[in-house]
Amino acid sequence: MSFPIESFQAALSKIVPGAIGALLSLQFLPPGRKWYNTFWSIVSGCSVSYYIGGATIDYFHVVSGGLIAPAIYFCLGLFGLSLITNAMNEVKPALDGLRKRIFGPASGE
């Protein structure tokens, strides 16, 4: 059984590299953003880093004690926002293509 402080330290070792990457990715965003857009950019980068980073590390059997695991979390935090943006840009065309495949083209197309 692990103590709560050990669990907290394990969670921080996964979150901090992704948060640093997410903070660095803010310099590539256009200026003049509202504070809540900046906040959600950081949250999305940290979320992608934490969940997809953990899955990537498990899938490739990366040893958690080395430097590769934090590098994976950092890179996913850095590029997490662009991953989410590109995925969201592809949702509407994918749904339109699915609609055309199932129901055929609209009468005006």
Residue 70's pLDDT band, with cuts at 50, 70 and 90, is very high
CB distance 50 to 18 below 8 Å = yes
Residue 51's pLDDT band, with cuts at 50, 70 and 90, is very high
Place of tokens 């660095």: 24
Q: Is 2 helix (H, G, I), strand (E, B) or coil?
A: coil
C-alpha neighbours within 13 Å on the C-beta side of residue 1: 2
For 71, counting Cβ atoms within 10 Å of its Cβ (0-12 exposed, 13-18 middle, 19+ buried), the class is: middle
Question: Rounded to whole angstroms, how far apart are CA atoms 29 and 85?
Answer: 12
For 21-39, the pLDDT digits (tens) are 999 988 887 888 888 888 8
* Residue (of 65, 82, 64) closest to 22 by Cα position: 82
Per-residue pLDDT averaged across 4-21, rounded? 86
Residue 64's pLDDT band, with cuts at 50, 70 and 90, is confident
41 pLDDT more than 70: yes
Sign of CA dihedral 51, 56, 61, 66: negative
Q: What was the pLDDT predicted at 109?
A: 61
Question: How is residue 11 written in tokens?
Answer: 């969670």
Place of tokens 């850095």: 78
20 pLDDT more than 90: yes
Q: What is the pTM of this model?
A: 0.74
